[in-house]
Structure 1
């Protein structure tokens, strides 16, 4: 089915609105949501059956992933976490627990927590059974709105080039599941969204 792209400026406006809402969240709300999100995400068959999960470490008031990372690892999953490269592409390393993370500074960007293990190369993500994607919103078609940095667009392009088809899951707050997000031709739909109150799967 042909896509019907909306103006890129619509993406920027929606991003500003959603980021402002996240910045206003109280710390205790974020903590409670993170615990619930971990439980809900683990209900997804795409994660329950995965052997390798490519994930990420949440920052600021993003939906929290730290509890989920530890739960995945405790369940025997191999968890890959990203390392941001100078060109905004992502390398990957194995998560070995909270002590394996270190703060990393990147010019012009917020400080990130990244794995300290040996880098496996950008193509390591092609071996994942499921990929957890950060985002700001998802709509009823499964179209995801990212933050606009382009790192995960490269990940999705790499998966496509490799013929890899992991489950794509976005982690959000409840009110970030919306009727419609602006899209561009390169955007990819996800298979599922997990929020603190539940999960939703999308048809292909």
Structure 2
């Protein structure tokens, strides 16, 4: 195993252990604060289409954010995990437009194709950590690195994290894609 892969695995284990220690109350409060910061950014305020995701487990919560985006008339795209690990995209129309999928995911019922992410004005992605230069650490499947490769240059990309998951030493490999910002309960960090 290359040194960067081993370092990524160690960092993933460390972050996931920290997430397991957070209470449901803290997760909910953090989700609301993160959403409020995101909704106040000029990028999100002027976006017509936002690509986001449905959080699961100890991930920074997205339900308040998704509801707020929809309430303000934005088109919201959500991922569908394909068998090869790539991401298809569908439109979110409320919780009734989601179905249970493998790995505990909730996904939209419609399919717009893998290139639909290129139509988003803002792309919000999950992650486990981000470096001071915007290098994002995901879960290791490469799904979001592939999706981010389809996002036009200049599109605002932002990872949702806990406060203690920003500015970490994230090992990177040639296929890894950086983001332009991180959203946490304390605010927005731009890279």
Tell me the TM-score normalised to structure 1 length: 0.88
Instruction: State whether structure 2 residue 129 is matched by structure 1 residue 129.
Output: no
Gaps of 5+ in 2: none
2:8 to 3, 6, 11: 11
| Deviation at residue 180 of structure 1 after TM alignment | 2.1
Are 1:114 and 2:107 counterparts?
yes
Moved over 6 A (4+): none
Post-superposition offset of 1:28 = 1.1
**Residue 6 and residue 190 in structure 1: after superposition, are their counterparts in 2 closer, same or farther (change >3 A)?**
farther
Shift of 1:165: 3.8
**Where does structure 1 lack aligned partners over 5 or more consecutive residues?**
none
TM-score (normalizing by structure 2): 0.94
Count of residues in Structure 1 that have an aligned counterpart in Structure 2: 190
Name 1:79's counterpart in structure 2: 76
Partners of 2:46 and 2:87 lie apart in 1 by: 25
Q: Structure 2 vs 1, CA of residues 199 and 6 (structure 1 numbering), >3 Å: closer, same or farther? A: farther
- On the 8 A contact 2:51/2:78 being kept in 1, the answer is yes
Cα RMSD after superposing both structures: 1.5
- CA drift of 1:186 comes to 2.0
Equivalent position of 1:176 in the other structure: 165
Displacement of 1:6 after TM fit? Answer: 6.3
CA distance in structure 2 between the aligned counterparts of 1:33 and 1:189, rounded to whole angstroms: 23
